[in-house]
Amino acid sequence: DVDFSAHIKNKAPAIDTQLKLTTKLTLDKELTVFNLRDVVLTVVLRANEFIKQDEELKIKSSIDVLMDKQLITIKGLQLTALGIKARAEIQVSQLLKTPLIQGEVDVQPFNARDVAKRAGIELPEMAKDDALQKVSMQAKIKMQGEKLEANNFSLLLDESVFSGWVHMRDLSEQQLRYVLAADHFNIDHYLPPVTKDAVSDKAVVASAGEENPVTANVAAVAASADEKIELPIEMMRKLDIQGDLRITSLLIKAQEVKRFAMSVRAQKGEIVIYPLLMQVLEGTVASKVTLNVQNKIPAYTVNMEAKQLHLGPVVNPILKEAMEDEPISIKGAANLLMDIKASGETVKQLKQSSLGQIVLDMKDTEVNHFDPEHYMRKAVADYVQSKGLNLSKAIISEYRAKQRTVFDVIHGTVDLAKGKATTNDFIMRSPQVQVTAEGQVDILQNTLDMMS
């Protein structure tokens, strides 16, 4: 019988540790075979600078050591710490060379929020109150030297399971490789809660030092746009990642994304997401996104091709808010091409440096509660009425506004350069009317200069 205990104190940082080990040891006379039965190791840790309360770590197992075969077998390993319970079966071979560690690990479901709280970590608030309350992990592990593999990997996040494999080719160089897949995942649950803007116009005015709320709001937006985008540049330059992620059904911003696929490559300061594929809004999206931090100023590129996106579910809520009493809505599919480059350390610099083109094409687009002819008649009638000519009734006559207008073609090309978005070919064409427009949006000043 073996019974060992110790009391260890450390001054800076202040850590007080109580150790207790009990086991039954059997060994042969040649000292080549060791059997440790009913091993129980208890560690009581007091480190109030890091952890608010005293924590206990407990390990239970039985261990067999065969020196002639350079083999250690750890059976029925049970580990309990911070409210986490894990089980494992581990074998260590090649003891006198580079030890090879293999086995199966099963981390039983735990509440990640409670664990983080006990560890002195404050997790951000999430939209779903009970997010991360059920987390578990299983894997077959293999470790030798700087190489770690987790095969048959399975990670449970509440109601979603990610499975596949995760390999660290070199722990010191953080060379990460992975292939993971999930059947479904609701990312909305893990995003910050959606709250109504509690800032009143008066508060915006006070903070911006303006009397006009609109002017104050523009000033506030301009100020925030000039704030630096904080990126962990040094860490990103050291990344060495190659990984593929597939999710059959992904929910984001209340929109279902099907067949989501993302491949990430990060090496020598260049992070490339390609391909980035998804089926959303009844259409398809294929993208390539690059972030390059090799130089002092981060550089971004975005290439996207979207086909047959039904924009109504996204655009209609915006139209409803913008048009207020006029319930305008659209129904139709859009094709979108985007090729944009930008660089900068602030939002303002990104806007200033944006260079590229966006092309929009829509056919057979139905706009409900919108009749261009009615708007034109009303505009002319209002104008002549303002000049004292009593002709408004004659212009409007008995015309009744149509409940919908179908546009054969909606097309526009937007060129980005020098902080401006310019179009010279915007057109909305229907059998009754054709609307064209050209001009530009100053994306730095948030101003519009268009002529139709």
Whether cis (ω within 30° of 0) applies to the bond prior to 275 is yes
pLDDT category, 47, cuts 50, 70, 90? confident
What is the chain's mean pLDDT, rounded?
A: 87
pLDDT digits (tens, 9 = 90+) for 329-351: 889 999 999 999 999 999 999 99
pLDDT category, 202, cuts 50, 70, 90? very low
pLDDT digits (tens, 9 = 90+) for 117-154: 888 888 889 999 899 999 999 999 999 999 999 999 99
Query: Does position 81 have pLDDT exceeding 50, yes or no?
Result: yes
Distance CA 47, CA 175 (A): 32
Query: Does position 370 have pLDDT exceeding 90, yes or no?
Result: no
User: Residue 208: its pLDDT value, please?
Assistant: 45
Query: Does position 52 have pLDDT exceeding 90, yes or no?
Result: no
Tell which wins on pLDDT, 9 or 382: 9
DSSP 346: B
- Cα 313 → chain centroid: 21
* Neighbour-count burial of 390, counting CB atoms closer than 10 A to its CB (0-12 exposed, 13-18 middle, 19+ buried): exposed
User: Residue 405: its pLDDT value, please?
Assistant: 83
User: Residue 358: its pLDDT value, please?
Assistant: 96
When pLDDT is averaged across residues 317-338 and rounded to a whole number, the result is: 82
pLDDT digits (tens, 9 = 90+) for 275-299: 999 999 999 999 999 999 999 999 9
Quick one: residue 259, left, alpha or beta (phi over 0 = left, psi -120 to 50 = alpha)?
A: left
User: Lowest mean pLDDT: which of 42-46, 165-169, 213-217?
Assistant: 213-217
Whether cis (ω within 30° of 0) applies to the bond prior to 13 is yes
User: Residue 223: its pLDDT value, please?
Assistant: 54
When pLDDT is averaged across residues 307-333 and rounded to a whole number, the result is: 82
Query: Does position 327 have pLDDT exceeding 60, yes or no?
Result: yes
User: Residue 326: its pLDDT value, please?
Assistant: 66
Report DSSP letters for 248-309, one per residue.
EEEEETTEEEEEEEEEEEEETTEEEEEEEEEEETTEEEEEEEEEE-SSSS-EEEEEEEEEEE
Tell which wins on pLDDT, 402 or 338: 338
Tell which wins on pLDDT, 380 or 330: 330
Tell me if residue 398 falls in helix, strand or coil: coil
Cβ atoms 369, 329 nearer than 8 A: yes
- Residue among 46, 61, 62, 39 at smallest CA distance from 13: 46
Distance CA 373, CA 396 (A): 10
User: Residue 209: its pLDDT value, please?
Assistant: 44
Cβ atoms 82, 55 nearer than 8 A: yes
pLDDT digits (tens, 9 = 90+) for 261-281: 999 999 999 999 999 999 999
Query: Does position 78 have pLDDT exceeding 50, yes or no?
Result: yes
When pLDDT is averaged across residues 339-367 and rounded to a whole number, the result is: 93
